[in-house]
Structure 1
Amino acid sequence: MNYTEKYLEQMDRIRQVVSQQSDTIKEVAELFAKSIATDHMVHLFGSGHSRMMVEEMWPRYGSFPGFNPIVELSLSFHNLVIGANGQRQAMFLENVPGLADRILRNFDLSDQDAALVVSSSGCNVAPIEMAEGFKKKGLKVVTLVSMEHLQGSDSKDSRGKKLTDFADLVLDTGAPLGDAMIRIEGMDTPVAPGSTLGGVALINCIKAETAALLHQMGHTPKVLSSGKIVGQQRATELFESAYDQHARLIAKQYQNIGADETVV
């Protein structure tokens, strides 16, 4: 078997892990649909490469409003690798206590909102404190992790907490400890990670189930669609109305910030 076949074999294993979570996926979709149908939002957070799951949910073709993607460039902009805005700084900041609180200070969260926090290891401080912050505000929190990696890793939180300690529902990408899935003869370091495969599959399963529930509830989502499928005029109408809906929803997240604080 060549290495391509080995990776594809691992993809099949991850697909099975995702498939075994169908009941949990439906629970997550019910939670998200309830928030979106009542004009509330599902807040999404991921640092490092986990930001890809956030962007996969919204906005892109085949997705719809109701989600608030929270992506901090200081935690996720890896393109320069070294130097200013380099990876070393991002990995350092990801484990600075209190950063999550500063991020959440920007939003007027409601206990009718929901949240999805993504972290492959579930052991870095920023995502742990984000989930904790959402919980303190009364939100239901879904976490997306690689369970084998989480269970085999030590938390960087000073209390020893892990992301799943603040979860109402947990989803598993199926990626192995260390993420990389392929062993090459003569090398002591495996290559080709798998958490993105499982994460993207879970995100799109949730998206499909949520869309179906919203449609059944009489809240058919405004899905960003290609003109090749629905015609250019319809596609343009959907884009404009979807972005307008997002603007109205996100505006609510700012309108009462600090309203209950007394300025001395």
Structure 2
Amino acid sequence: MSISREYLEKCRNLIDTIAGQEPAIQQAAGWFAGTILAGRMVQVFGSGHSRIMVEEMWPRYGSFPGFNPIVELSLTFHNLVVGANGQRQAMFLENVPGLAERILRNFALNDQDSALVISSSGCNVVPIEMAELFQQRGLKVVALVSKQHSEASTSKRADGKKLTDFADLVLDTGAPPGDAMVRVPGLDTPVSPGSTVGGAMIVNSLKAEIAALLTEAGQPPKVLSGSAVVGPERAVSLFESAYDEHAHRLARLYQGL
């Protein structure tokens, strides 16, 4: 078997892991749909490369309003790697106590909101504190982690608690400890991570379930759709109306600050 085929086979195993979580995915989708039907927003947070799943949820083709993507550039901007705005600083800031509270100071949350917090290890301080603060404000919190990786990792938080300790529900990407899934002969460290693949499948499974629930409730979502599917005029109309709806929902998160 080629190395690339080995990686793809391991990705097939991720599908099985995620399919086994169907009841939990449906439970999370029910909470999130309830938030959207109430006119509120699902708060979606991830630092580091977990930002990928935040933006996979919204906004992109095949997604719809109802999600507030909380992406802090200081925690997620990896392009320069070194120098100003480099990776070392981002990794340091991920573990600064109190930063999560500063971020959430920008939003007036209530118990109709809900949250999806994404962290492969579930061991960095900011995502942990984010989930803790969401729970303190009465939000249902869904954690998206790599369970094996989280269990094999040590929390950076002083009390040893992890993201999963502040979650009402935990979803698992299925990725192994260390995330990388393939061993190359002659190389002593594995390559090719799996958490992004597993995380994207879970996020889009949630999206599909939520869309179904909203449609069944008589509030079909305004889905960002390509002109190749719906024609150029409808595509523009959907984008504009979806962005307007996002703005209106987001405005409610600033009321009462």
TM-score by length of structure 2 reads 0.99
Q: How does 1:173-188 map to 2 (within 5 A)?
A: 173-188=173-188
* C-alpha RMSD of the superposition: 0.4
What is the CA–CA distance in structure 1 between the aligned matches of 2:227 and 2:79, rounded to whole Å?
A: 32
Match of 1:221 in 2: 221
Superposed CA deviations along residues 174-196 of structure 1, whole A, max 9, x for unmatched, are 00000000001111110000000
Match of 1:113 in 2: 113
Q: Which amino acid aligns with 1:91?
A: M
SS in 2 for 1:31: helix
Match of 1:21 in 2: 21
Q: How does 1:2-21 map to 2 (within 5 A)?
A: 2-21=2-21
SS in 2 for 1:256: coil
Match of 2:38 in 1: 38
Matched, 1:60 2:68: no
Q: Which amino acid aligns with 1:141?
A: V
**How many pairs does the alignment contain?**
257
Q: Which amino acid aligns with 1:127?
A: P
Q: CA shift at 1:24, angstroms?
A: 0.5
What is the CA–CA distance in structure 2 between the aligned matches of 1:161 and 1:105, rounded to whole Å?
A: 23
Matched, 1:148 2:148: yes
Match of 1:49 in 2: 49
SS in 2 for 1:213: helix
Q: Which amino acid aligns with 1:207?
A: K
Match of 1:204 in 2: 204
What is the CA–CA distance in structure 2 between the aligned matches of 1:4 and 1:62, rounded to whole Å?
A: 28
Unpaired stretches in structure 2, ≥5 consecutive residues: none
Match of 1:88 in 2: 88
What is the CA–CA distance in structure 2 between the aligned matches of 1:89 and 1:115, rounded to whole Å?
A: 26
Unpaired stretches in structure 1, ≥5 consecutive residues: 258-264
Q: CA shift at 1:255, angstroms?
A: 1.8
SS in 1 for 2:234: helix
Q: CA shift at 1:7, angstroms?
A: 0.3
Superposed CA deviations along residues 100-152 of structure 1, whole A, max 9, x for unmatched, are 00000000001100000000000000000000010000000000000000001
Matched, 1:158 2:161: no
Superposed CA deviations along residues 14-56 of structure 1, whole A, max 9, x for unmatched, are 0100100011010011000000011011000000000000000
What is the CA–CA distance in structure 2 between the aligned matches of 1:255 and 1:24, rounded to whole Å?
A: 32
Match of 1:134 in 2: 134
Match of 2:75 in 1: 75
Superposed CA deviations along residues 211-245 of structure 1, whole A, max 9, x for unmatched, are 00000001100000011111111111111100000
What is the CA–CA distance in structure 1 between the aligned matches of 2:233 and 2:103, rounded to whole Å?
A: 38
What is the CA–CA distance in structure 2 between the aligned matches of 1:61 and 1:181, rounded to whole Å?
A: 29
Matched, 1:253 2:250: no
TM-score by length of structure 1 reads 0.97
Superposed CA deviations along residues 52-72 of structure 1, whole A, max 9, x for unmatched, are 000000000000000000000
Q: Which amino acid aligns with 2:165?
A: D
Superposed CA deviations along residues 72-100 of structure 1, whole A, max 9, x for unmatched, are 00000000000000000000000000000
What is the CA–CA distance in structure 1 between the aligned matches of 2:226 and 2:3, rounded to whole Å?
A: 35
What is the CA–CA distance in structure 1 between the aligned matches of 2:9 and 2:99, rounded to whole Å?
A: 39
SS in 2 for 1:161: coil
